[in-house]
Amino acid sequence: MEKTCVEQKKQYDILIIGAGVAGLSAAKSAYELGCRSILVVEHTNYLGGILHQCAHYGFGDGLNGPEYIQTLLDAFPNELEYRLNTTVIGIHADKTAVLSSAEYGVQTICFSQLILAAGCREIQAGALDIAGTRPMGVYTAGQMQEMINVYGILPQSPVVILGSGDIGLIMAKQIAEIGGEVALVEQNSVLGGLERNQWGIEQYAIPVYFDTTITELHGEKHLSAVTLGNGAELPCKTLLIAVGLIPNQELLDGIGHPDWLHLCGNCNRIHAMIESVVYEGKKAGISACEKL
Amino acid sequence: MLMKDSAVNEQIKYDVAIIGGGILGCFAARNLMRWNVSAVLIEAEDDVCKGITRANSAIVYTGYDNKPGSLKAALTVQSNRDFAKLCEELDVPFSRCGSLLVAFDSEAETVLQKKYHNGIRNGVNGLKLLSGAEVLELEPMLSANVRVGLYAPDTGTVNPWQLGIAACENAMANGCDVWCNETVSNIVRSENGYWITTSNKKVHAKAIINCAGLSADQVQNLLYPAEVSLDFDGADYLVMDKAIAKPKHVIFHETAEGKGITAVPCTEGNLLLESTARALTVPFASTLEGIRSVKDTVKAVLPQVDTTKVIRSFGAVRPNLRGRNGENISDFYIGNPAPDFYSLIGVKTPGLTCADALGRSVAEKVAVYLHAEENTAFSPVRKGIAKTDGQIICQCEQITKGEIIEAIKRGATTVDSIKRRVGTGMGRCQGSRCTYAIERLLEEEIHGENVRRAKETI
Ligand SMILES: Cc1cc2nc3c(=O)[nH]c(=O)nc-3n(C[C@H](O)[C@H](O)[C@H](O)COP(=O)(O)OP(=O)(O)OC[C@H]3O[C@@H](n4cnc5c(N)ncnc54)[C@H](O)[C@@H]3O)c2cc1C
Ligand SMILES: Cc1cc2nc3c(=O)[nH]c(=O)nc-3n(C[C@H](O)[C@H](O)[C@H](O)COP(=O)(O)OP(=O)(O)OC[C@H]3O[C@@H](n4cnc5c(N)ncnc54)[C@H](O)[C@@H]3O)c2cc1C
């Protein structure tokens, strides 16, 4: 197997899945340690991962997401090989990964070390105990963040956000900033998230319904209202779900945690600060090199 | 769905108009094409198969439930036998996974025995009454408290809207026109048929096949007083993440109070869980009590199923057919108020199983009425959208750009209609990662360029 791979130049010392901050940091550190056989594979058509859609400031030295990515890319070794619009659809115990792309179709790549930096996904409405109809106008908060910041599409107001973690808070502030009517629903009796993200709630006097959750959706084609745990109905046209993130570890189903596998970033555990993502990425690059 | 561009013509004439593009209308259309007739399928929604056909249990029944001698029993047994061939013709995945009807108490045991004997009389193959131990051997995921089971090896599962869409594509390939976004609002008699008024058009047809699902009684009432009427109840469904451990068979649960939950290992790999019947709230809305009671009951019946891994829940509407005096009519009902008017009213379970047979039966009656000749060019074969290699758009279900574009070429005009053709957004993230990418593909394909969607205002 390995032999065929070498013949077809599909053998890499290190394969990195995901070109977010974690994957890019891992690639850079492995390169700096002398590794020259690295491939970074990225599902989207850009480098930088989730930061691409984070228009708010608060990354590193007061930068917004895209600016922060740019600092990473400026320091990125030119020779590093990466492929965009390419998705890893399987990882196997014999140290092969299956890639799918328009250019190469379905292709098997062999590697010695694997760095999984595939980020996380959001918990979506369907996973929650929410009854009612299934109208349009229900999104995850990150999905709406991408629609607003990358594609310039604004949500229909009023907006209700379920969950007051960092992403819920950031979205509430942004929607208030652009003139939308917004309210938060939080099951605990205090706001979640970082203190700096909580300020916006006070600043824009955003109503927060504490100690309750959303139990039902209304609206035949488009969302018209949500019901809260106490029976109250909140009229709204958009609902954003911001109740948590789940590491993308499905590729590991059936292979467990072999010693050639290194996880970093949100794919390993959910990070609140970019510094710890960079740190974990570096560490993954180093430990992969050590095993070579 | 795209329609033939005859929208401006005020005087459109067809031999047959089929009202309602659910699975029954689609199969009526497909089977009409076996004769030399012109036909149009008229659907109120923006795509076919968005009504009852979208929210049901996806089971291909064997016929042991049905009363011996009934039309239901005869059609179900025959349709089950023919199902693999039908799915082969239409290139739709079908899994003959078998089913176990299980009971945990002695009262329910007698029901199983009755169904077993019904099944034998109806000619259902391979039925077996099993002890608790035998049931557990076949299906170790069931609770060890199971007392008896009725095993039916011929039960299967199929994706209902995929089958309906396949029938619709096959009808179109054989010459049937399909109009979406056209609600039939009026029907009047003419000398040799009917004038039908829809949202934007007026069309003449020599005969009508009414398959308007939840409104089928009302559509018939536009012209003929129906001897039957519909009332409704509901059910709740949960779709589970593919990754969880799931039973291999369809599991029906019989309780002392009647039918309990149903668990279906779908062809896509998800487990579908259905509640018992409940009163209807808002059409197609789920209830919190229903969602919670399914989870609780599943914990008792299939304790190893991880009920926390739900990816979607939804509500269903079940039409109940009533006679003039409000009595329940349990058999299939084919209304025929005039020689040129046929209605399928209140077709619930097992309407999916029998869709081709029911569609064929009404199509044949209409063809005979029209003295139509057989269409020797009819082809029953339709090819599905093949899995292709390439750029992945939907990561959960690993659907490529090529597959999505093919769905658009076949007439999908919304993210939802793409979803129902290739399975995008059906996975654990429920489209939260790929919806916008698909919207952009739709814009590119339909408008030929990447047009920015009109900004919604706040
Ligand atoms: C909405 C949001 C706001 C945040 N705000 C702040 C902030 O203000 N300040 C701060 O310090 N931190 C913030 N963070 C935290 C931090 O920035 C992120 O946790 C960090 O960017 C995560 O980086 P990552 O590389 O682990 O994941 P990601 O950036 O998600 O990158 C993962 C990459 O992997 C790719 N991928 C996934 N699966 C595959 C596959 N199978 N094949 C190929 N490619 C794949 C994805 O396309 C993606 O590009 C925020 C996080 C989020 C989610
Ligand atoms: C909860 C539930 C579970 C079921 N489970 C199973 C099962 O597991 N196995 C099985 O074999 N069967 C099952 N069935 C039965 C099966 O799903 C139905 O028999 C079948 O889907 C009915 O299809 P239809 O075409 O009549 O209805 P629909 O799919 O509702 O189609 C009717 C169509 O008519 C359109 N329409 C209505 N009025 C108008 C108008 N005025 N003008 C134009 N168009 C109009 C509607 O928009 C709709 O698209 C189940 C049924 C229910 C309710």
* B126/B99 Cα distance (integer angstroms): 11
Report residue A165: phi and psi, to 5°: -75, -175
What whole-number distance in Å separates Cα of residue A163 and Cα of residue A90?
Answer: 33
Residue B385: pLDDT over 50: yes
pLDDT at res. A218? 98
Q: What are phi and psi of B223, to 5 degrees?
A: -130, -45
Say whether both A236 and A253 belong to one domain: no
Closest by CA to B82, choosing from B334, B383, B353, is B353
Q: Are residues A112 and A250 in the same domain?
A: yes
Chain A positions touching B458 (Cβ under 8 A) are: 154-157, 175, 178-180
Dihedral pair phi/psi, residue B438, rounded to 5°: -70, -40
Nearest CA in chain A to B294: A129
Render pLDDT for A182-211 as a digit per residue (tens, 0 to 9). 999 999 999 999 999 999 999 999 999 999
Number of domains in chain A: 2
Q: Is B165 in the pocket of ligand 2 (CB under 6 A)?
A: no
In Å, what is the CA distance from A168 to each residue of A98, B42, B173?
A: 35, 44, 49
pLDDT digits (tens, 9 = 90+) for A26-52: 999 999 999 999 999 999 999 999 999
- Confirm if B213 and B20 have CB atoms less than 8 A apart: yes
Closest-approaching ligand to the CA atom of B262: 2
Return the exposure string of B198-220: e unless at least 16 CB atoms fall within 10 Å of the residue's CB, then b: beebebbbbbbbbbbbbbbbebb
For residue A280, how many C-alpha atoms fall within 13 Å in the half-sphere facing its CB? 24
pLDDT over 90 at B89, yes or no: yes
Residues 6+ apart with CB under 8 A from B452: A151, A152
In single-letter form, the type of residue at position B359 comes to: G
Residue of A nearest to B455 (CA): A153
Contact B342, B234 (CB under 8 A): no
Contact partners, residue B192, CB within 8 Å, separation at least 6: B206
Two tokens, residue A241 = 């779900």
Work out the pLDDT band at B453, boundaries 50, 70, 90: very low
Cα gap A100→A83, rounded to integer Å: 11
Q: What is the pLDDT of residues A226-241, one digit of tens each?
A: 999 999 999 999 999 9
| CB-based contact A127 B284, cutoff 8 Å | no
pLDDT of residue A260: 98
**Calpha distance A192→A231 (Å, rounded):** 23
* In the predicted structure, residue B437 carries a pLDDT above the cut 80: yes
Testing the interface with B: which of A250, A251, A267 to mutate, by most B Cβ within 10 A?
A250
Cβ atoms of residues B361 and B79 within 8 Å: no
Q: Residue A20: give its domain's CATH number.
A: 3.50.50.60
C-beta separation of B267 from B159 below 8 A? yes
- What are A121-154's pLDDT values in tens digits? 999 999 999 999 999 999 999 999 999 999 999 9
Task: Sort A228 into a burial class: Cβ within 10 Å, 0-12 / 13-18 / 19+.
Answer: middle
Residues of B in contact with A124 (CB under 8 A): 311, 429-430, 432
Q: How far is CA A113 from the centre of its chain?
A: 23
Is the link from the previous residue into B319 a cis peptide, with omega within 30 of 0?
Answer: no
**Where does the pLDDT of residue B109 fall: very low under 50, low under 70, confident under 90, or very high at 90 and above?**
confident
A128/A178 same-domain check: yes
Quick one: A169 and A112 in the same domain? no
Which residue, chain included where needed, has tokens 């559509």? B219
- How many Å apart are CA B199 and CA B167, to the nearest integer? 24
Evaluate whether B53 touches B165 at the Cβ level (below 8 Å). Answer: no
The answer, yes or no, to whether residue B1 has pLDDT greater than 50, is no
- Which residues, 6+ apart, have CB-to-CB distance to B88 below 8 Å? none
A106 plus A212 within the same structural domain:
no
Mean pLDDT across chain B: 94
Cα atoms in the 13 Å half-sphere on the side-chain side of B202 = 8
What residues flank ligand 1, with Cβ below 6 Å?
A: A 17-23, 41-44, 49-51, 54, 56, 58-59, 87-88, 117-119, 142, 145, 166-167, 170, 248, 265-267, 271, 273-274, 277
Q: Say whether B456 and A155 touch across the interface (CB within 8 A).
A: yes
3-state secondary structure of A224: coil
Q: A174 lies in which domain range?
A: 124-243
Name all domains of chain B by residue range, CATH numbers in brackets: 10-53+160-227+329-369 (3.50.50.60), 94-156+231-322 (3.30.9.10), 392-457 (1.10.10)
DSSP state for residue A116 in the 8-state scheme: E
The residue to mutate among A17, A50, A196, having the most atoms of ligand 1 within 8 angstroms of its beta carbon, is A50
B69, pLDDT greater than 90: yes
Residue of B311, B313, B456 with shortest CB distance to A153:
B456
Q: Measuring CA to CA, how many Å separate A262 from each of A50, A80, A154, A165, A247?
A: 20, 19, 38, 28, 14
Nearest C-alpha in B relative to A150: B436
The larger pLDDT score, comparing residue B451 to residue B76, is at B76
Which 3-state string (H, E, C) describes B328-367?
Answer: ECCCCCEEEEECCEEEECCCCCCCCCCHHHHHHHHHHHHH
- The pLDDT, as a whole number, for residue B107 is 84
Cis preceding linkage at B140, omega within 30: no
A168 and A200 assigned to the same domain: yes
Do residues A140 and A61 both lie within one domain? no
Percentage of residues of chain B with pLDDT beyond 90: 91
* Alpha carbon of B218: minimum distance to chain A alpha carbons (Å): 20
pTM of the model: 0.95
Distance A235 CA to ligand 2 centre (A): 31
Residues forming a β-bridge with A57 = A64
The packing angle between helices B415-422 and B435-447, to 10°, is 100
- Tell whether A153 and A215 lie within a shared domain: yes
- Considering only CB atoms, which chain A residues are within 8 Å of B455? 152-154
Q: How many residues does chain A have?
A: 292
Does the pLDDT value for residue A72 go beyond 80?
yes
- Report the residue of A17, A121, A123 to disrupt the B interface, i.e. the one with the largest count of B CBs within 10 Å: A121
User: With contacts defined as CB-CB under 8 Å, which chain B residues touch A17?
Assistant: none
Put simply, whether A137 touches B (Cβ < 8 Å) is no
The CA distance from A268 to B28, in Å, is 53
Same domain assignment for residues A133 and A233: yes
Higher pLDDT, B6 or A58: A58
Q: Name the nearest CA neighbour of A264 among A13, A10, A27, A9.
A: A27
pLDDT band at A3 (very low <50, low <70, confident <90, very high): very low
CA dist., res. B62 & res. B353, Å (int): 9
Burial class (CB in 10 A: 0-12, 13-18, 19+), A34: exposed
Q: Are residues A165 and A145 in the same domain?
A: yes
Q: Distance (Å, rounded) from C-alpha A172 to C-alpha A240? A: 10
Residue A223 phi, psi dihedral angles, 5° rounding: -55, 135
- Whether residue A158 is preceded by a cis peptide bond, meaning omega within 30 degrees of 0, is yes
As a whole number of angstroms, the distance between CA A247 and CA A22 comes to 13
Residue with structure tokens 């169904």? B115
Measured between beta carbons, the chain B residues lying within 8 angstroms of A179 are: 458
Taking residue A22's Cβ as centre, other Cβ atoms within 10 Å add up to 33
Task: Give A26 Cα–ligand 1 centroid separation in angstroms.
Answer: 14
DSSP state of B457: P
Asked whether residue B4 carries a pLDDT value surpassing 70, the answer given is no
- Euclidean distance between CA atoms B50 and B55, whole angstroms: 8
Supply the pLDDT for residue A265. 98
Instruction: Tell whether A112 is within 8 A of chain B (Cβ).
Output: no
Local structure of B409: helix, strand or coil: helix
What is the length of chain B?
458
Which amino acid appears at position B16 of this protein? V
Percent of chain A beyond pLDDT 70?
97
Give the ligand with the smallest distance to the CA of A168: 1
Co-location of A207 and A110 in the same domain: no
Q: Which residue has the tokens 């197997």?
A: A1
CA distance B397 to A89: 10
Number of the ligand closest to the Cα of A18: 1
Inter-chain touch B314–A134, beta carbons under 8 Å = yes
Contacts of A101 in chain B (CB under 8 A): 390-391
Closest alpha carbon to B421 in B178, B3, B19, B91? B91
A100 touches B at CB < 8 Å: yes
CA dihedral A106, B92, B17, B353 (to 10 degrees): -150
Atom of ligand 2 nearest to the CA of B50: 49
Ligand nearest to the CA of A55: 1
Pocket flag, ligand 2, residue B180 (CB < 6 Å): no
- Asked whether residue A19 falls in the same domain as residue A36, the answer is yes
Q: What is the mean pLDDT of chain A?
A: 95
List pLDDT tens digits, range B257-316: 888 999 999 999 999 999 998 999 899 999 999 999 999 999 999 999 999 999 999 999
pLDDT at B10: 53
